[in-house]
Structure 1
Amino acid sequence: MKKQAYPILVLLMVMWLVRIVDSIVPLDLNQFGLLPRTLRGLAGIGLMPFLHTGFTHLIANSVPLAILMGLTVASRHRAWPTIVAIIIGNGALLWLFGRSAYHVGASGLVFGLIAYLITVGIREKQFTSLAIALLVGVLFGVTLVSGVLPRWNSVVSWDGHLFGAISGMIVGIGTSRSRSL
């Protein structure tokens, strides 16, 4: 296994470990999720991706995360700095502008990685990055578009998805070089 793949395994293992502990202990760990514009909610910027409402929610995030983080490694970009930057950017934007509700889950990171990989492919215009961008667009394009649309009476954090995608685009622009064909 490539050394660059370790962040994928570490992140997924920590997410699963937190979910298992949360299902065993009588304390609801989701109270440490992100609550916008509150001092208590600041911790959620970093903790939100590790907290999930249940195993179904965790599985729904783990599968695309494994694929997208694998593609990030395959794109020859450094996975850890990219992941950390998207998590912090998403959390900060969500804390500042998100609707007042507890936000938990790694879907902001999922949407961030989708936008990141597409942005890098479009900017770099190299065969590998373009192929990855095209694959991500085919696999996750509909999810990207439908997931960022507002759903006012939903428990789904569409605003977390939106700010994740914005963060991914910003990180993609900041870490790639624009090239002409």
Structure 2
Amino acid sequence: MSNGEFKTMVGEFKTQALILGGLVACFWIIEIIDIFFYRGALNSYGIIPRSPVGLRGILFAPFLHGNFLHLATNTGPFLILGWLVMLQEISYFFVVSAITILVSGLGVWLFGAPYSVHIGASGVIFGYLGFLLFRGYFQRNFSSILLSLIVAFFYGGLIWGVLPSMPRVSWEGHLFGFIGGILAARILPKRKRV
């Protein structure tokens, strides 16, 4: 590896850390403000199924969490799976995130339980999971297939989260986020390096 390639790699890693760290910092700052200043009232900005005002939650829901435990359980997978999506290309992270937020949010809005409010970044996390699991299938090169297999080994158990198994957990957000990730894996170009 040449000195120039090493500098490029270090620069990319710094950019990835800045993006992911910045987003996670936003999640935590918003949750701190919500709990200590608004006493959880910001969560009303989540997705409210089939309510016109609930559409705003498609944009806001990934940044809102029920409590610190909810946020803490989302932070690790968001960082790890988000970074693995960035290994493809940093710009892919934004495309996969946008597609996942839209598909997950619209799916929840259309099919979520009435009178419920859906919040949290888990729909996005399941989008990253869907993208990483299916990218190898759609891209069909060794490194993408290997990455898909590694993700399946370490995070494959999450797939059960797309089923209605736990009360007060938005399985609809998980399911449609996962579908959004698969859609992103299908439509993004095949020519990138991983």
Q: Which amino acid counterpart does residue 170 of structure 1 have in structure 2? A: L
Is 1:119 equivalent to 2:134 in the alignment? yes
- Which of 76, 86, 111 is the equivalent residue of 1:97? 111
d(CA) in 2 for partners of 1:44, 1:99: 15
SS at match of 1:177: coil
Kindly provide the CA deviation profile for residues 80-134 of structure 1, in whole angstroms up to 9, marking residues without a partner as x. Answer: 1221221112111211222221101011011110001111111112222112211
Q: CA deviation at 1:29?
A: 0.8
SS at match of 2:164: coil
Deviations 1:20-65 (A, max 9, x none): 1011113511111101110111110011110001111001001000
1:69 alignment partner in structure 2: 82
SS at match of 1:154: coil
AA aligned to 2:120 is G
Following the alignment from structure 1 to structure 2, what is the Cα–Cα distance between the partners of residues 18 and 49? Answer: 11
Matches within 5 A, 1:12-27: 12-27=24-39
Conserved 8 A contact 2:63-2:120: yes
Q: Output the TM-score relative to the length of structure 2.
A: 0.85
Query: How far apart, in 2, do the equivalents of 1:26 and 1:171 lie?
Result: 36
In structure 1, what is the equivalent of residue 48 of structure 2? Answer: 35
- The CA distance in 2 between the partners of 1:63 and 1:133, in whole Å, is 18
- The 8 Å contact of residues 5 and 73 in structure 1, kept in 2 or not, is answered as no
Tell me the residue number matched to 2:177: 164
Residue-pair matches, total: 176
Q: CA–CA distance in 1 between the matches of 2:161 and 2:148?
A: 18
| In the alignment, structure 1 residue 177 sits paired with structure 2 residue 190 | yes
Identical amino acids, percent of aligned pairs: 35
Structure 1: state its 5+ residue gaps: none
SS at the partner of 1:43?
helix
- Equivalent residue of 1:2, what SS? helix
Q: List structure 1 segments (4+ residues) > 6 angstroms apart after TM superposition.
A: none
Q: More helix per residue: 1 or 2? A: 2
Letter in 2 for 1:143: L
Cα displacement (A) at 1:77: 5.3
Distance in 2 between the 1:73 and 1:6 partners? 12
What letter is aligned with 1:171? A
Amino acid of the residue matched to residue 9 of structure 1? G
Q: How far apart are the structure 2 equivalents of 1:129 and 1:11?
A: 25
2:122 maps to 1:110: no
Find the residue that maps to 1:36 and give its secondary structure. Answer: coil
CA distance in 2, matches of 1:26, 1:75: 39
Displacement of 1:159 in angstroms is 1.0
Aligned counterpart, 2:162: 148
Q: Which amino acid aligns with 2:184?
A: V
Letter in 2 for 1:97: F
Higher radius of gyration, 1 or 2:
2
